[in-house]
Amino acid sequence: MLFVEANGAKIPAIGLGTWELRGRTCARLVEQALKLGYRHIDTAQVYENEREVGEGLRASRVKRDDVFVTTKVWTNHFAPHDLERSTKESLTKLRLTEVDLLLLHWPNPHVPLAETLGALANARKHGLCRHIGVSNFTVGLLDEAVAACPEPLVCDQVEYHPYLDQTKVREACARHGMALVAYSPVAKGRIKGDATLARIGRVHGKTAAQVCLRWLVQQNVSAIPRTSRIERLSENIDIFDFALAEEEMTEIFRMASPKGRLTDFGFAPKWD
């Protein structure tokens, strides 16, 4: 496993995304992922699966300190007292005393950013999390957040895959010593039928998904693919025994298009 180092945090380069994984399936996948060598699990309050993520963690018997657990605070809990209360609720569900990384899930223009960041920093000071960060922050918001936050932010978790150019966010993260954590890293499964990725994969004896994830990791990005299939857990982590050549990296960078963004919840920030 490689790690992405960012402002004191060591984030495993591959993690398991858990959005839409529920109940027994979620607990079983988390347990199995950890048994297969995953050391990074991504959940969120709004996924309504923190309890099952916690069950999977305990069932795996992997030592707590060896796993990097991220959760996220939803936007309706950004008022300072709400943020602390809701983080404690997350910890109760996970049955953990602290998470490794606590993120603001989306920007919320209705609560002053400095106040929310102050509360996020306090959550760290009070031992509820080891590190703090943001998600879905544009470059402008990221610069604002770094300037306003009393503690270092370690990542911006954003959508990133070969169909979407994230050069600006990647450069901003690097400028601030932060990591980019890529969500929807296999473009919600769309990479499966991609001819370019499949062709590159054949050269290395790898699948299109493995080429895609390797391309992210080779940029010093951490990726959190989600799967509900046990066999794909192994596929998605088996990317550390090959490397893409510079020409292959460049070819994949050229796949991005202005229509490549897949996430649109109707309240997304203005990106450009």
As a whole number of Å, the CA-based R_g of the chain is 18
Among 186, 197, 216, 252, binds ligand NAP (CB under 6 A): 186
Of 83-91, 118-126, 179-187, 238-246, the segment contacting ligand NAP by CB under 6 A is 179-187
Q: Is 18 in the site for ligand NAP (CB under 6 A)?
A: yes
Q: Is 80 in the site for ligand NAP (CB under 6 A)?
A: no
Angle at 134 between CA 10 and CA 40, to 5 degrees: 35
User: If you search the block for the tokens 């770094």, which residue do you land on?
Assistant: 146
Those residues with Cβ within 8 angstroms of residue 72's Cβ, 6 or more apart along the chain or in another chain = 43, 44, 45, 46, 102, 103, 104, 105, 135, 157
Q: Is 19 in the site for ligand NAP (CB under 6 A)?
A: yes
Of 77-85, 163-171, 219-227, 249-257, the segment contacting ligand NAP by CB under 6 A is 219-227
Contact 237, 158 (CB under 8 A): no
Using CB under 6 A as the binding rule, the residues of this chain from 226 to 265 that contact ligand NAP are: 226-229, 232, 235-236, 263
Among 126, 189, 253, 257, binds ligand NAP (CB under 6 A): 189
- Smallest distance from the beta carbon of 266 to ligand NAP, in angstroms? 13
- Smallest distance from the beta carbon of 149 to ligand NAP, in angstroms? 18
Cβ closest to ligand NAP, residue 69 vs residue 209: 209
Question: Is 110 buried (19+), middle (13-18) or exposed (0-12) by CB count in 10 A?
Answer: exposed
Inter-axis angle of helices 50-60 and 23-36, nearest 10: 40
Among 11, 33, 123, 224, binds ligand NAP (CB under 6 A): 224
Contact 151, 185 (CB under 8 A): no
Identity of residue 264: D
Residues within the interface to ligand NAP (CB under 6 A): 17-19, 42, 105, 135-136, 157, 183-189, 192, 209, 224-229, 232, 235-236, 263
